[in-house]
Amino acid sequence: MLGIAGLVLAVVAIVALIWRGWHMVVVSLAASLIVVLANGMDVLAAINESYMGDMSAFVGSWFLLFALGSVFGRVMGDSGASAGIASSMLRLVGERHALLVIMVTGLVLSYGGISAFIIAFSVYPIAVELFERADIPKKLIVAAIMVCPATLGMVMMPGIPSTQNLIPASFLGTDAYAGALLGVICSVVMFALSYAYLQWEIGRCRRRGERFAPSPGETLSRPDDAAAPPVWACFAPIVLLVVLVFVLQRAAGMQATDAVTVSMLAAVVAACLLYRGRLADIRRAIGESCASGLGSLVSVAAIMGFGGVVVASPAYQGIIEALMSTSLNPLWQGFITIFAIAGITGSAIGALNIYLGSMAQTLLATGLDPAMMHRVLCMASVGPATLLPHTSAMLAANQAARTEVRDTYRYVLVSCALLPILVSLLGMALGLAGVA
């Protein structure tokens, strides 16, 4: 019981320290020590092996993408390209549809195989221009950017090339398009609910007289529309990014992360060449944005280190064993177990790997449709992973937007956690009713 109490206390400590503005490295180390001491673990072994092992693995996997994503966002912003995109989209659909533009942009990028981490940096320059012009309070920007990439664009829409959507395929013998009808229904419901919720929040803010304001230390320049790059040049790097990711994965058979890295590099080079006359000091822009991106990477990696300590703790192992030994219907057991693992660790990938690694054969032996189970278990992983404010993708989005978690968390909680949980329950009901 002491070990479980330690896990709970560690999560409470994370929430409290984040709310008070402590750096994520300090927060994650403090929470890790609570878990270690409550579980009677060897302190040095836990920090050096579990914490540093998972932290360094994450840094190694995402180093280039965080740096390139930050550079891409900075070049798009400094050149006026993001302002040009915002202007052209607002002329097309009007300011009242600014939220719709951001959500669709995030969805298209995620369907193109770009991770939520990179979308946070890539979409922010466009989103902040749209928010400023539509006069929407900035505390809503993280939810607006992340709601599609972190929910329907990650696990609901069939064919999404995300890791979360590919893990069940490797265990259940399905493919990325498994449970297509179920996925489409849940995607439509999720998009409609999240859009309605965020529009409602925007309306509430306007009725209270709340307006857009840049973050402390953030300088936003709105160039003349006439001074912005031509519309085709504004969109060209983003179109190149999406198309190249698709081609490299589908035609060349390249791994998803490698394809996105190469495509992001190509998009950065293309942007620098297209906008070279509009960037006052390109060396400074690249240097500062690299430093900013890598600072964000360290913050996110630190919480992954905490997850490594949690997974190595006896209390965590006991919880998983207890959940997996229940006599529930195997699909419900999987749903609840994945929900619990994702909620504790803040990792949908970890939850799917741990459960399916042990129980895939048991699930297949039930005779239930593997395609339906694929889609339902995928959806079960994303909502709980965002319930608490230490979710890695949301931390990255706050870093990119220069916002505080305590200001944005309420809107992220509803749009990226509670609504996906409701939709995943709908998916479970439809799946058991025979929809796949």
219: CB partners within 8 A, 6+ apart: none
> Residue 192: is it exposed, middle or buried by C-beta count within 10 angstroms (0-12/13-18/19+)?
exposed
341: CB partners within 8 A, 6+ apart: 320, 347, 350, 351, 354, 355
Read off the pLDDT band of 89 (50, 70, 90). Answer: confident
For residue 326, which amino acid is it? Answer: T
Give per-residue pLDDT as tens, 107-156: 888 887 777 877 888 888 889 989 998 999 999 999 999 999 999 988 99
CB half-sphere exposure, 148, CA atoms < 13 A: 27
Read off the pLDDT band of 224 (50, 70, 90). Answer: low
Most confident of 24-28, 306-310, 422-426: 422-426
Read off the pLDDT band of 219 (50, 70, 90). Answer: low
The CA-based diameter of the chain, rounded to the nearest angstrom, is: 66
Confidence (pLDDT) at 260 = 80
Confidence (pLDDT) at 376 = 94
Confidence (pLDDT) at 14 = 87
For residue 215, which amino acid is it? Answer: S
Give per-residue pLDDT as tens, 17-52: 888 888 889 999 999 999 999 999 999 999 999 999
What count of other Cβ atoms lies within 10 Å of the Cβ of residue 234? 26
How far apart, in Å, are the Cα atoms of 295 and each of 25, 65, 66, 289, 292? 11, 13, 9, 10, 5
Read off the pLDDT band of 317 (50, 70, 90). Answer: confident
Q: CA 418, CA 415: separation in Å to the nearest integer?
A: 6
Q: CA 165, CA 169: separation in Å to the nearest integer?
A: 7
> Residue 39: is it exposed, middle or buried by C-beta count within 10 angstroms (0-12/13-18/19+)?
buried
Q: CA 160, CA 67: separation in Å to the nearest integer?
A: 24
CB 118 within 8 A of CB 65: yes
Give per-residue pLDDT as tens, 261-283: 888 899 999 999 999 888 878 88
pLDDT above 90: residue 358: no
pLDDT above 90: residue 285: no
- The tokens for 42 are 């060897």
